[in-house]
Amino acid sequence: MAILASIWSYFWAVLTALPIVGFVLVYAIAFFVKKNHHDALTWSITISNVLLIRAVAAAYGVIWPNAMSVWLWIVLLFLGIALLIGWMQIKVRGKISLSKIGFSTWRITFVLFGLAYIMLFSTGIWKSMQFV
């Protein structure tokens, strides 16, 4: 049982450190099940966003261990994007669609967390190279 728990923790560690592995893995599984590239891509983006959030939170905690909690910044980012999209919907259409706000917020944060992951990953490598 300890071996299985160890394998499971290494699997989650790899997915947290390298969320692209999760993206490829989910895409392959979803394409095998659904036989549709669009559905497989949608599923992999959705799951990879969760993995990217975990990776950004972990990298932020390693680079700045004494800083304010990253989860506060993540919640504020989600709320800010949702409010901005809602405001734009009111200006353009005159009404709000919560499902479109949620979907758009999730997709925009996928791109933002992907960029933040690349930036924090390279910053972490640069910061660790200074100690060598």
Q: Which residue has the higher pLDDT, 92 or 124?
A: 92
Q: Per this entry, what is the length of the chain?
A: 132
pLDDT band at 132 (very low <50, low <70, confident <90, very high): low
Residue 23 CA to residue 90 CA, distance in Å, equals 34
CA distances from 29 to 37, 39, 44 (A): 11, 11, 9
pTM of the model: 0.85
Backbone angles phi, psi at 34, to 5 degrees: -95, -20
pLDDT tens-digit readout, 50-88: 999 999 999 998 888 888 889 999 999 999 999 999 999
- Calculate mean pLDDT across residues 17-21: 90
Q: Is the pLDDT of residue 131 over 70?
A: no
pLDDT of residue 96: 93
pLDDT band at 118 (very low <50, low <70, confident <90, very high): very high
Say which range, 20-29, 31-40, 116-125, has the weakest mean pLDDT.
116-125
Q: Which strand (E) or helix (H) includes residue 35?
A: none
Q: Which residue has the higher pLDDT, 31 or 131?
A: 31
